[in-house]
Structures are given as structure tokens and as C-alpha cells.
Amino acid sequence: MPTFETIKFELTDGLAVISFNRPELLNALNSQLKAEFLKALRMLNQPHSAARALLITGEGRGFCAGADLAEGATDAVDMGASLTDTYHPFLTELANLNIPVVSAVNGVAAGAGMSIAISADIVLASRSAIFLQAFVNIGLVPDAGSTFILPRLIGLNRARAMMMLGEKVTADKALEWGMVYDVVDDDKLMETAKAMAQKLANGPTVALNGIRTLMAQSLKNDYQQQLAAEAVVQRGAGRTADCIEGVTAFIQKRPANFKGI
């Protein structure tokens, strides 16, 4: 197991937990954190990985405040190249995981930190959580996938206003808008998130990955294409040991014991 400094990584009973670990800076994304996050995600994407679900959160008072602006702040920085070189690799790795992802948003999720949070399949927020498209406040456009993900979650009008105004959105408003799945009391966030993520880790992994795949394809397919995609993915899921176990357990009126195969 690699040694990490800017993230915490745990893997127990099929559940991987990645915690951003720069709490003194609200887990701002510096070069080391981005590199370590990428390394951890690549570990989870290996065929031999024992992980069957991933939970992402932040240490301390915030989930992630976005880019560490104090690092390399200079007129000579090519921010487009920075995205391509240091953000896109981990964002792509996260999107390509074959396991479900839950984010537990504690405190602020701003800029690229918000992008990471809403990239999860299921987003849980503490009541004190704040979501912020902070880019415009420093003369930049949203990045790290925000312009793709956010309009699909809350609609063009709300996404556009959130990005242009650069104002904080509370957890309750994020729930009302459909940005998050649920809001829980601050002291219950990790307990609730871990229970949910563990349920996914104990679930039919191939089917759960199939859901991720189909949801991604549905954003570009027409109806007939999506019907065809469902048939392809269902063929694979129907051949798994978990499908046999699930049907057998249903007939026998007992809980299924999925193995992820």
C-alpha cells in the first residue's frame, strides 16, 4: 500500500474511503494532492482491486475548497494546460471507475472541489455544507467538469445563474434543486454515508457498474440507442453469479449474498 500525505486511504470489507487531508487549507487541491488522488483512483481501477464501492470526503471543516491558488500563482501559468495535465487525469479515472461512488460533503465544496463532489453517483451533504461555483469571482470560467455535470443535475437556468453569480448555495437549496441526494445532520454525515456506501459495496457490483455505464450513455443516446445499450449491459449482468444469487434469494424469500461476480 502506498504512503499518502495529502489524502487518507482506507479499504475495508470492499469499501474504499478517500479523505482529502489538508484540513488547515480546507483541503485545497495542490499538486501533491491531485497526484495522490490520481494514484489512489488508479489503484481502485486495477483488475485485482478488492474495492466494490468508493466514498470520498474531506478531513476537517470542509470537503474541498478547490484549487490551491497560492501554489504557482503567476501570470505565466497556462491554466488550460494545468487542467489537461493535472485535473483531467484524475477526473477521467474517477468517471471510468467500475464501482459506485458516494461523496460525503462536509462544509464547503467550491470550484473544482464542487466538481469532484457532484461527480459521485450519490451525493450526501451535511446541513452546514455549502456549494460554490467560485470561478467567476476570480475571473475564470467553471472547469473540472462543472459545465457538463451541473446543468444536467439542476438545469441550464440554475446552473448558469450559479456560475455567473458566484454565490453560495446551501445544502437545503442543493437538495431542493436536485444537486444532492439527501441532507443529514452534521454529526450523522459520515455514519450515514458509510452505511450507504457499504450497502453498495455489498451489492451486485457488475449490475451497479452497468447502471453507471447506462446513465453515462443516456446523456448522448436517443431512445432506440438506449434500448439497445440496456440489452447489451443486461446480457452481461444476467450471466453473473450475483444474478443467480439474487433470483434464488428472491424465490427463497431471504436476503441476497452478493459476491461482486
State the catalytic residue, choosing from 13, 68, 85, 88: 88
- Grouping H, G, I as helix, E, B as strand and the rest as coil, residue 56 is strand
Q: How does DSSP classify residue 10?
A: E
Query: How many CB atoms sit inside 10 A of residue 30's CB?
Result: 18
* Angstrom distance (rounded) from CA 116 to CA 249: 36
Q: Look at strands 53-58 and 7-12 and give their pairing.
A: unpaired
Q: Per-residue DSSP letters for 117-156?
A: HHTSSEEEEETT-EEE--GGGGT----TTHHHHHHHHH-H
State the catalytic residue, choosing from 78, 143, 185, 222: 143
Q: How does DSSP classify residue 28?
A: -
97: β partners: none
Q: Is 88 a catalytic residue?
A: yes
- Phi and psi at residue 105, to the nearest 5°: -95, 105
Q: Is 48 a catalytic residue?
A: no
Strands (E) located in the chain: 7-12, 15-20, 53-58, 101-105, 108-110, 122-126, 130-132, 169-170, 182-184
Q: What are the residue numbers of the active site?
A: 88, 143
